[in-house]
Amino acid sequence: MSRRSTAEKKTAKSDPIYHNRLVNMVVNRILKNGKKSLAYRILYRAIKKIQQKTDKNPLSVLRQAIRRVTPNVTVKARRVGGSTYRVPTEIRSTQGKVLAIRWLLGASRKRPGRNMNFKLSHELMDAARGNGNAIRKKEETHRMAEANRAFAHFR
């Protein structure tokens, strides 16, 4: 571990069309093998599909989906006295947002469907409504944290 000063937090840049940092964070998580233009195309097509289906502002649907999926607590593995415990820990809003984006994209990748923009748009709409696999993942994490609340003193 470095003994120098702590690294500064980098603020995410905004995307070229919507000028929104959240959109750029999602694009950077979609990104595979450095193909950023493909990631932008996937997200923009998903946003267009959300616009057509819901007749709402697609950025508000994206924001609402991420807000619904964002967890308050998470469980971390701690090794204490030769055995491993799943210890519940509270997380900051930025880390929660990162987890929410990761869970949304993971759920949309596993979803059956034609292509990624179709799957991503449907997962975002489901999450904004309050159902879908990403929401289930959040609830599962909260249940596990509640079940392991006895180990919270190992934090």
Q: What is the pLDDT of residue 100?
A: 95
- Per the domain annotation, does 11 fall within a domain? no
Nearest of 30, 46, 37 to residue 16 by alpha carbon = 37
Q: Write the pLDDT tens digit of every residue in 9-20.
A: 888 788 899 999
pLDDT digits (tens, 9 = 90+) for 25-64: 999 999 989 999 999 999 999 999 999 998 889 999 999 9
> Is residue 5 included in any domain, yes or no?
no
Whether 10 maps to a domain, the answer reads no
Q: Are 75 and 86 contacting, i.e. CB atoms less than 8 angstroms apart?
A: yes
Q: What is the CATH number of the domain that holds 147?
A: 1.10.455.10
Overall number of domains in the chain: 1
Give mean pLDDT, residues 62-69.
Answer: 94
pLDDT, one tens digit per residue, over 70-116 is: 999 988 888 878 888 888 889 998 999 999 999 999 999 999 988 99
Residue-range definition of the domain harbouring residue 134 = 19-152
Count CB neighbours of 41 within 10 A. Answer: 15
Structural domain includes residue 93: yes
As a whole-number percent, the residues of the chain with pLDDT over 90 amount to 63
- pLDDT, residue 21, reads 92
Q: Does residue 12 sit within a domain?
A: no
CA distances from 105 to 42, 46, 132, 133 (A): 12, 12, 12, 10
| 1 assigned to some structural domain | no
